[in-house]
Structure 1
Amino acid sequence: MPPIIARANRNHAGAASIAGSRAAPARYLAIVALVVVGIGAASSVYELRREHAIATAQEQLLASVQFTARRGLPIGPPPPLNLAQPPRALLLDAQLYLNQVPFAQDAADKRRLLSMAQRMIAAALAGRPGWGEAEALEAYLQSLKGSEGKVAAQRALVRSYDHMPYMREAAAWRIRYGLAQWGALPDATQRRIVDEAIWFVRLRPEQRDSIFAAVRATPAYFPFMLRWRTVRAFDADRLPN
């Protein structure tokens, strides 16, 4: 009997040794996974904080530019061209270059500003492909070229709606430009323009009259009003239009 017990003990010890040897790699893998997740989380937090800081600076700077422009004061020169910045910073600089276009000294100066803004938008899209905000700004840039950039502006507008159907800051321009290009846009983009217009006037009621006036003068009026009445039918405060 004792030898049997001894064999059982040896087998138990061997099984424990095997289990331990198998558990060790699992523990190491778990530790590695935790480290990877921790690094990813820290990186995400860093990127979010950087994006927030850039976005805040963007809002403050653009507000300052708009304040200056409203008073007819000269706007300072745009920043030096720097394509090594994060995508949002690149987009901010592109906006600043485009803000200078109305004050261009001549056609050559306008082309230079547009070219530099285009390079920054392209760099931003390279760093963040399919970014609707950058594509909307590209559409605006192309629209500044007049008939020369019309097709490119329409294509960029379509891409911006594909990737970002709703945009708070650029909605007013994007809706109006989309309405002006209505017949040249695909059905899906037309529907997105209508949806964004309805969303925008509900988000910012002070824009309602101007958006309704813009829609009323275009072929988008019927689909817009049909969609508007459908959406408003479920609102508790619905009033006759």
Structure 2
Amino acid sequence: MAGVSIVMPVLCLAGVAAAGYLAEREWVTQTIILAMRDPLNEGQAVLADHADDPPEALGDRAKAGLAELALMSAGRAQSRGERLLDLVRADRQIAELNRSRPAWATTRILTAQADLITHPSASSLGVSAYVASYRAAPFLMHEARWRIAYGASVWNRLPDATRQGLLDEAEWLTRFDNSQRPAIEHLLGARPAAMAYQFRMASGHLPSAD
């Protein structure tokens, strides 16, 4: 019985420590997510505080949030050094996500976004990641506009299934909130994807989010 009396407190302490660790990780995750609402100010502070945290200290949502903040910062960087630092920070988190959740749509989108900053014409790696994002998640509210704009710019390099996925998402977003239609049309520009979108909307086809 003496052995049991020793083991039980140890197990309780281990449980408390594990709960505290998980709570701290969730607090960091929520801090990062909230900072994304204000990437110019709060986002920069959070990026500076957590960009160099060890991977095991961050959950996947936190890693994705940090990567997105770093990519936004890279897009605004005033110097080559700042831009490279932000890209290194983003690439570090994206590399971790590619190890832990390679098939996650967010991982595929972040990979394509990082590639686009380095290769403004989009490399085959970025296009492949973009295509994979539709296989992982056909409809995304937060990332839909970016996917529509990116897909329109590389339309001629997309397989037919991905083109249809882009049109499905664009139509779904328009049907969800028709006030977004002018913004979607602006993202599509005067490209072949725009003509396909207008034809789709005129046909009355309605995609399913199931």
Range of TM-score over shorter length = 0.7 to 0.9
Q: Which residue of 1 aligns with 2:115?
A: 142
Which residue does 2:51 correspond to in 1? 80
Aligned match of 2:197: 224
Match of 2:90 among 117, 139, 150: 117
Residue segments in structure 2 that go unaligned for 5+ positions in a row: 1-22
Tell me the TM-score normalised to structure 2 length: 0.73
Whole-Å separation in 1 of the counterparts to 2:163 and 2:69? 29
| C-alpha distance in 2 between matches for 1:222 and 1:122 | 37
Q: Kindly tell me: are residues 210 and 80 of structure 1, through their superposed partners in 2, closer, same or farther at Cα, counting changes over 3 Å?
A: closer
Q: Which has the larger radius of gyration?
A: 1
Is 1:62 the counterpart of 2:36? The answer is yes
RMSD over equivalenced CA pairs, Å: 2.9
Deviates more, 1:200-209 or 1:88-97: 200-209
Change in 2 beyond 3 A, CA 1:211/1:51: farther
| Percent of residue pairs identical | 26
CA 1:208 to 1:114, structure 2 compared with 1: closer, same or farther past 3 Å?
same
Q: Larger relative contact order (C-alpha < 8 A, sep ≥ 6)? A: 2
Q: How has the CA–CA distance of structure 1 residues 113 and 148 changed in structure 2, closer, same or farther, with 3 Å as cutoff?
A: farther
1:135–1:156 CA contact under 8 A, matched in 2: yes
Are residues 1:96 and 2:57 paired? no
State whether residues 95 and 117 of structure 1, in contact with CA within 8 Å, keep that contact through their aligned partners in structure 2: yes
For residues 82 and 113 of structure 2, the distance between their equivalents in structure 1, rounded to whole angstroms, comes to: 18
Residue pair 1:86, 1:124 contacting (<8 A) in 2 also: no
Q: Is the Cα–Cα contact under 8 Å of residues 29 and 59 in structure 2 kept in the other structure?
A: no
Q: Does 1:212 align with 2:182?
A: no
Matched, 1:132 2:95: no
Instruction: State whether residues 51 and 88 of structure 1, in contact with CA within 8 Å, keep that contact through their aligned partners in structure 2.
Output: no
Counterparts of 1:80 and 1:214 in 2: how far apart (Å)?
A: 31
Give 1:65 deviation, angstroms.
2.0
Give the Cα separation in 2 of the matches to 1:61 and 1:138: 21
Total equivalences in the alignment = 180
SS of 2:139 mapped into structure 1? coil
Aligned residue for 2:39, secondary structure, equals helix
In structure 2, relative to structure 1, the CA distance for the partners of 1:146 and 1:230 (3 Å cut) is same
Deviation at 1:126, TM superposition (A): 1.8
Alpha-carbon offset, residue 149 of structure 1? 4.8
Provide the C-alpha distance between the structure 1 equivalents of 2:128 and 2:31, rounded to a whole number of angstroms. Answer: 30
TM-score normalised to structure 1 length: 0.64
Corresponding position of 1:15: none
